Structure 1
Amino acid sequence: MAVDVRWATIEDATALATMLCEMAVHYRQPPLGHERALSAARKWLGEESPAYPHFALAFVKGEVGGLASVAIAHPGIDLERLLFLKDLFVRDKARSAGVGRALIGFLAGHCRRHGIGRIDLTTEDWNEGALRFYDRLGAERHGQKVFLRLSGEALKAAKP
């Protein structure tokens, strides 16, 4: 089955909103209202960062089937940029159709074309399907890092 992957533009706001709503449910979060998700998608794809795309969308027969949310981080100790894959999500009805592999291939191609040396990502330890998928791709598990988060009160308390 042919999968078309492209960087999302403002014209893709509705498709992105659909994916965000389905992702919230999949990742065990409170459901998102479509209008709220659409408003955020329009902001992110329109005014917030027009110079660099943050979302790749995959389409199967013209219908959105998956998304990758990414950020480019500049050099660390190895002086090589990396693409951080924040989220890779494939809708239930598009699973096992090559959507995830097409998204990763699209991102890998972008990295090769732009001199980006690696893709880093995380996944939940309970997400066995994702772990198997990344294993099949040959992703290496790196246990030397601990994933941490500042949010809520800790974020408010982190003042200069």
Structure 2
Amino acid sequence: MAVDVRWATIKDAEALATVLCEMAAHYRQAPLDHGRATATARQWLDEESSAYPHFALAFAGREVAGLASVAIAHPGIDLERLMFLKDLFVRDSARSKGVGRALIGFLAGYCLDKGIGRIDLTTEDWNEGALRFYDRLGAERHGQKVFLRLSGEALKAIAGY
């Protein structure tokens, strides 16, 4: 299967929304309203900086096949920036067809072109498929960090709301 990967633009809002809705269902979240997801995707893509795009989309033929959501952080090791891969998701219909590898390859090429020294990511400890995928790519497991989250009431309390 030929896979084309590119940075998403506002013209890709519908495609991004399609993947976001399928991703929510896959992770057993409440279903997303496709219209609301499209409007949100359009807003996000309209606000994206051309210097640091945040969504890469993979297409197989004319169909959207997956996404990578990333952020660039400063500074990294030796003053090299780092890319944080927040989400990598491949639609069920495109699994095991090279879409995830194409997305990661696209991101790796971007990093090398822009002087970004590494890609950091997390995955759930129960997600054996993702762990095998990243192992095959040569990802190193770093157990020295603890993943923490501030959200909901804790976020409000810290902000003084």
TM class by shorter chain equals over 0.9
CA distance in 1, matches of 2:159, 2:11: 38
CA distance in 2, matches of 1:82, 1:106: 15
Partner of 2:117: 117
Letter in 1 for 2:102: A
Q: CA deviation at 1:36?
A: 1.1
- For residues 93-144 of structure 1, give each alpha carbon's deviation from its aligned partner in whole angstroms, at most 9, with x where no partner exists: 0001100000000000000000000000001111111111000001000000
- Segments of structure 1 that go 5 or more residues without pairing to the other structure are none
Q: Does 1:100 align with 2:128?
A: no
Q: How does 1:46-61 map to 2 (within 5 A)?
A: 46=46, 48-51=47-50, 52-61=52-61
- Segments of structure 2 that go 5 or more residues without pairing to the other structure are none
> Secondary structure, in 3 states, of the residue corresponding to 1:120?
strand
Q: How does 1:1-160 map to 2 (within 5 A)?
A: 1-46=1-46, 48-51=47-50, 52-76=52-76, 78-159=78-159
Letter in 2 for 1:134: Y
Q: CA deviation at 1:77?
A: 5.2
CA distance in 1, matches of 2:117, 2:26: 30
CA distance in 2, matches of 1:75, 1:12: 30
Letter in 2 for 1:49: E
> Secondary structure, in 3 states, of the residue corresponding to 1:59?
strand
CA distance in 2, matches of 1:154, 1:77: 30
Letter in 2 for 1:115: G
Give the TM-score of the pair, scaled to structure 1.
0.96
> Secondary structure, in 3 states, of the residue corresponding to 2:22?
helix
> Secondary structure, in 3 states, of the residue corresponding to 1:25?
helix
Matched length: 159
Give the TM-score of the pair, scaled to structure 2.
0.95
- For residues 44-83 of structure 1, give each alpha carbon's deviation from its aligned partner in whole angstroms, at most 9, with x where no partner exists: 011x224331100000011000100000001145322100
CA distance in 2, matches of 1:49, 1:11: 13
